[in-house]
Amino acid sequence: MKSFFRKLNFIKYNANPLRLKRLVLVLSLVIGLVSGLAAVILKNTVFFTHDLITHGFVFDDSNYLYLAFPFLGIVLTVIFAKYIIKDNIGHGVSRILYAISRKHGRIKPHNMYSSMIGSTLTVGFGGSVGLEAPIVLTGSSFGSYLGQLFRLNHKTIMILIGAGATGAIAGIFKAPVAAVIFSLEVLMIDLTMGALIPLLIAAATGASVSFLFMGSGVLFTFDLVDGFHIRHLPYYIGLGLFTGFVSLYFTEMTLFIERSIQKVNSQIIRVLIGGATLGLLIFMLPSLYGEGYEFLELLVNNKVDGLVNQDVLEFSTSTTYILIFLTLIVIFKVVAMAVTNGAGGVGGIFAPSLFVGGVFGVLYGRFINLFPGTDIPVKNMALVGMAGVMAGVMHAPLTGIFLIAEITGGYELFTPLIITATISYLTIMYFEPHSIYTKKLAERGELFTHHKDRSVLQMMKVKSHLETNFKTVDKESTLGELVSVIANSERNVIPVIDEEENFYGVVFVNDIRNVMFNQELYDEILVSNIMYMPDTLINPDESMEQVAHKFQETGHYNIPVIDNGKYLGFVSRARIFSTYQKLLKEFSDE
């Protein structure tokens, strides 16, 4: 089948803009259908897996199973990833961003199904993570696969990747508007008509598939008793500030735990540490089991007493103890999520961020209401808190605003959603400029952004721009031997090396014109006497942004590329600028 599609390459979609646009629209529809269907399948598979293993599972009689199930799920996921897929299948959104930034949008085909299986094993057995990132990776992988199948250009493949992510989010949340905004905010898809229409098609298709198979119910159902009142404005501002700090804790604690676990060399030890920690946390606080949406819905609808009585800590239902209980849930949900992923589980931070935001919103609202004369709607605080934490953790305020409005039907809360999400985003930005998805990529200089100039530079690699047509001369050579090399050279720079390709410097032809025609000096002057070491060198692993900065700072036209002292060639300003202009034009065209 793949060879058949490759034979269609004679149509040359990339060379015909009209045909290309038509093809992208058709593929967006197909991607939306597949992504929406994948979301439905994953949601139901996890539900039935959870139902199967917990059938007849009563906490009072079987609470020790909480120690075993999450651990077993991580073990099965690690076995599947290591011995069947033989690849890392975690951190779905970060994997997509890396593929966009460094792999020209090429995502491995196994991600079309592997992350679904991995997350089913992890979440179905109680892993404290979400299903959204795995299904986003599934949809994006399918979009990437079709783009490669039709040999489309990089920009078009990016649009199809965004369509896959959009269809997946729309399918799992039944939130098409938030799905489109997610691709624009988080995946950095450009807001152009050429990109927006395919995203809208995929979003509508994915959501329609979800509605067809799962009905019209939204994720959380509640009756909005109190809308937004201007007298509550200060409380929403305060909620935005606090959710910003909660988001900072969420991000920093997650990265710290994952890095700490990854420092353990033995994967078996990592699984044991992560699985045991997760099992113990869920044993103590069963509310941390799985995605947590059921707990969150009960909490938002003020059914707290029954939830507190489930826990082995046996909290009192007094207000003080409930506040302590909710504080522990906020703190340890992040820990449970981080150890799940760090130990080898597969899941995302969508659900945990919503969970933490909702729980903190209830905590915040109940605490405020302890003061005389205050009576703010706790339910509203929970919903707005969800948007605040999501906006802060993902650095995506619009996604948080529209997702909560769509999945809850709480459109009357648009104003507080905007206020809280914006303040939360600004708060965390003061301390942490990168989201939980992009921090590691940014540290490695591998982040694709909305800044097209920087993003284009990220796509370019030193090795692909290496020029090796420079004639070299041995460092022990004489001036006469150097002149012979210059006579056969097309360049005015001569690298000086030895027999083992070690780099010692360069000779500029213009610098020796006063002696190169004096044959009496040919045997008297050595190359080592007239060469010099350039003030700037380039390592082949440097980013092109660093290379461009070196050209700007030095004003040089050519800079040597040296790897551990070995001469590889030169990169030239002219060639880099030419490639940069070509790629920038490709990304800027509608």
What is the chain's mean pLDDT, rounded?
A: 84
pLDDT of residue 315 exceeding 60: no
Rounded to whole angstroms, the Cα distance separating 36 from 211 reads 10
The average pLDDT across 425-451 equals 79
H-type helices in 12-153, by residue range? 17-53, 59-62, 65-79, 92-102, 114-124, 132-149
- Residue 467's SS3 state is strand
Model pLDDT, residue 257: 94
At 244, the pLDDT band (50, 70, 90 cuts) reads: very high
Pull the structure tokens for residue 180.
């489109």
Note the pLDDT tens digit of each residue in 456-484: 666 678 888 888 888 899 988 888 888 88
Find out whether 494 and 471 touch, Cβ atoms under 8 Å: yes
Q: What is the DSSP string of 478-525?
A: BHHHHHHHHHT-SSSEEEEE-TT-BEEEEEEGGGGHHHHT-GGGTTT-
Model pLDDT, residue 394: 93
- DSSP H/E element including 563: strand 558-563
Note the pLDDT tens digit of each residue in 34-75: 999 999 999 899 988 888 877 665 555 446 777 788 889 999
Rounded to whole angstroms, the Cα distance separating 299 from 362 reads 8
Tokens 């600028």 belong to which residue? 577
Return residue ranges of the chain for CATH 3.10.580.10. 460-588
pLDDT of residue 557 exceeding 50: yes
Longest dimension (CA), the chain: 101
- Between 61-75, 299-313, 370-384, the lowest mean confidence (pLDDT) is in 299-313
At 445, the pLDDT band (50, 70, 90 cuts) reads: low
Q: Identify the sign of the CA torsion 134, 135, 140, 145.
A: positive
H-type helices in 112-174, by residue range? 114-124, 132-149, 154-173
| Residue 229 backbone zone (phi > 0: left; psi -120 to 50: alpha; other: beta) | beta
Fold type of domain 460-588? CBS-domain (3.10.580)
Tokens 């619009």 belong to which residue? 398
pLDDT of residue 13 exceeding 80: no
Return residue ranges of the chain for CATH 1.10.3080.10. 2-214, 230-455
Note the pLDDT tens digit of each residue in 167-210: 999 999 888 999 999 998 888 777 777 789 999 999 999 999 99
Of 76-90, 307-321, 353-367, 371-385, give the range with the top mean pLDDT: 353-367
The average pLDDT across 74-95 equals 88
pLDDT of residue 589 exceeding 70: no
Give, in order, the Cα–Cα distances in Å from 288 to each of 293, 362, 366: 10, 16, 21
Chain-centroid distance of CA 529 in Å reads 53
pLDDT of residue 352 exceeding 80: yes
Single-letter residue type at 199: L
Rounded to whole angstroms, the Cα distance separating 149 from 164 reads 15
The average pLDDT across 394-399 equals 93
The average pLDDT across 12-29 equals 79
pLDDT of residue 87 exceeding 60: yes
Compare 306 and 263 and report the one with higher pLDDT. Answer: 263
The average pLDDT across 240-247 equals 96
Model pLDDT, residue 532: 86
At 10, the pLDDT band (50, 70, 90 cuts) reads: very low
Rounded to whole angstroms, the Cα distance separating 361 from 126 reads 24
* Angle formed by the axes of helices 573-588 and 154-173, nearest 10°: 40
Q: Report the percentage of the chain scoring pLDDT > 70.
A: 87
Q: Report the percentage of the chain scoring pLDDT > 90.
A: 37
Q: How far apart are the first and last CA of the chain?
A: 31
pLDDT of residue 455 exceeding 70: no
Find out whether 133 and 348 touch, Cβ atoms under 8 Å: yes
Model pLDDT, residue 502: 92
**Phi then psi dihedrals of residue 300, to 5 deg:** -60, -35
Model pLDDT, residue 309: 47
Return the CATH class of domain 230-455: mainly alpha
pLDDT of residue 570 exceeding 60: yes
Best CA proximity match to 373, nearest among 235, 573, 256 = 235
Model pLDDT, residue 413: 86
Q: Identify the sign of the CA torsion 465, 470, 472, 478.
A: negative
Find out whether 18 and 165 touch, Cβ atoms under 8 Å: no
Judge if pTM exceeds 0.95. Answer: no
Compare 291 and 315 and report the one with higher pLDDT. Answer: 291
Compare 225 and 428 and report the one with higher pLDDT. Answer: 428
At 312, the pLDDT band (50, 70, 90 cuts) reads: very low
Model pLDDT, residue 543: 79
Return the CATH class of domain 2-214: mainly alpha
Around Cβ 64, how many Cβ atoms within 10 Å? Answer: 9
